[in-house]
Chain A
Amino acid sequence: MNAFAVSCLIIVAAAVVVFLARKRSTTPQQRQAEPEPIAAPATENPESPLNDAVRTGVRAFMKQHYEEAFELLEPPARQGNLKAQQLLAKMYYAGHGVPADREQYLYWLKRAADNGDKPSKAKVKKIEQGRTEAH
């Protein structure tokens, strides 16, 4: 295994440890009750720890390790990472790694939509149209 691969693994492992440590003290229910800070968009630097967390989080999501994926993806989602926001919306929709929560689903859909994601825009529009018609 080359030095670059070793470095990447160390960075990824460090990111996992940091994010797990930061989040271990809160439950998903507590997290939902927290006010949602509006963060500046994440840096596009591919080597940033946040992007490492996204990579590892996406991998955990695809392997259906949803709780791990949530822990990894929530911080970058709050920082404005689109991929993380899309996956958080999916997790709240399906109840993957967190209890299914319609409001949190819509919140992350809106964040992704505001970030320029067209499918999220379409879904937000449809949901809001449905709510208007229901009233």
Chain B
Amino acid sequence: MARFQRGMRNLDIELTNRCNAQCTFCPRDQTPDQGFISEDTFKKSVDRALELELTPKIHSAGQGEPTLHPQLPEFARYAHSKGIDFGFTTNGSLLTEELAEEILDAQVSHIVFSISDLDEDYEEVYALNFDVTRANIMRFLDMNEARGKPVRTNVSLVAHDLNRHKLPQYRKFWKQAGIDEFMNYEQTNRGGACDIGLYFVDNDGYKEEAAGILASNGLHHVCGVPFIMLFIGWNGQYYLCCNDYRKLSPLGSVFDHSIEEMDDIKWNKFFEDEIPEACKNCDLDVTNKFREALFEIEAGESSPDKIDLLVTETREQQESLEQIYSVAK
């Protein structure tokens, strides 16, 4: 019986972990074994998605730039031919007119442009040429419009020190350009690969206290991200999560395991060790969130109410996960 049969999930098939940008908030330089997914591995990953009772949408983001893969349009066509919504995240800098045409022909369903800055700030943060990126995105939007907007477009905005006060201006800029939707993110530490000044990463304290808070509130320590946001690396390995930038937790090959088998492997991973290797320094990990809050309270940076808010937030997330996790754990 399928565990996840009532909720929509997302499958991230990593086309490559190579990238032409060098974003200041991305720890891609810590990603080992860089390469490109093979056609066989991509197709097998799509076929694994089709084995599920409720087919997830496929969104290729991975830890690199999908437009670097020469077979991107071909992969999009394959996924579409199987009835799957396929989209990808791109920095837009390589989205030439020719590639845009191919992508539109391949009936890609959605594109997320990762572009959190404009002008000189963009070049400072991404180390790419803003004029080229802007021209590519504007042209794509025009071409998409000319075809009746078959592709849903989205801009992903990661808040950081340079753009925090400019984000409303950036949203307005892209909205006027024709972008459909926006996603706003705060920086995370990407499984511990990014140093964003968190206390728990440098200190073993508060583990027992955090576990005690979880237990006394009837909460568990299993993170929902690995079950909702499925991730297959370019080499065909399932990983616990897309935030495992250092690829610390390979769980098995897509050629050997179904996604449902992988759900069980992932679930068990949370109970084999105190905490999975990929999650030990991750700020999305449930226990670590409470530990960080306890450190902040100790430092006088947060009030004790923060724990109550975290309990409420965690309960909502875990109830949401349990709604789609249909078999008794």
Q: List chain A positions with a Cβ less than 8 A from chain B.
A: 1-2, 4-5, 8-9, 55, 58-64, 83, 86, 90, 93-94, 96, 118-119, 122-123, 126
Size category, B interface = 20 to 34
CB–CB B195/A58 < 8 A:
yes
- Give chain B's interface secondary structure class: loop
CB–CB A122/B22 < 8 A:
yes
Chain B residue nearest in CB terms to A64: B161
Nearest CB of chain B from residue A61's CB, rounded to whole Å: 7
Partner of B203, one of A8, A58, A63, A86: A8
Partner of B123, one of A64, A90, A126: A126
A99 to B205, CA, bound (A): 38
A94 to B117, CA, bound (A): 13
14 interchain pairs, CB-CB under 8 A = A1-B205, A5-B206, A5-B298, A55-B202, A59-B197, A59-B198, A61-B161, A62-B161, A62-B197, A64-B164, A90-B124, A119-B24, A119-B127, A123-B127
Chain A residues near B202: list those with CB within 8 A.
8, 55
Chain A residues near B272: list those with CB within 8 A.
none
Nearest CB of chain B from residue A43's CB, rounded to whole Å: 17
A1 to B210, CA, bound (A): 12
Q: List chain B positions with a Cβ less than 8 A from chain A.
A: 22-24, 29, 123-124, 127, 161-162, 164, 187, 195-199, 202-206, 298, 301
Chain A residue nearest in CB terms to B301: A63
Question: Are A93 and B195 also in contact (CB < 8 A) when A4-B205, A8-B202, A55-B202 are?
Answer: no
Chain A residues near B198: list those with CB within 8 A.
59
Partner of A63, one of B162, B197, B298: B197
A9 to B187, CA, bound (A): 25
Question: Are A58 and B29 also in contact (CB < 8 A) when A8-B203, A63-B301 are?
Answer: no
A90 to B202, CA, bound (A): 23
A9 to B299, CA, bound (A): 9
CB–CB A118/B195 < 8 A:
no
CB–CB A5/B196 < 8 A:
no
Chain B residue nearest in CB terms to A90: B161
A94 to B271, CA, bound (A): 45
A93 to B18, CA, bound (A): 27
Nearest CB of chain B from residue A92's CB, rounded to whole Å: 11
Chain B residues near A4: list those with CB within 8 A.
203-205
Chain B residues near A118: list those with CB within 8 A.
22, 29
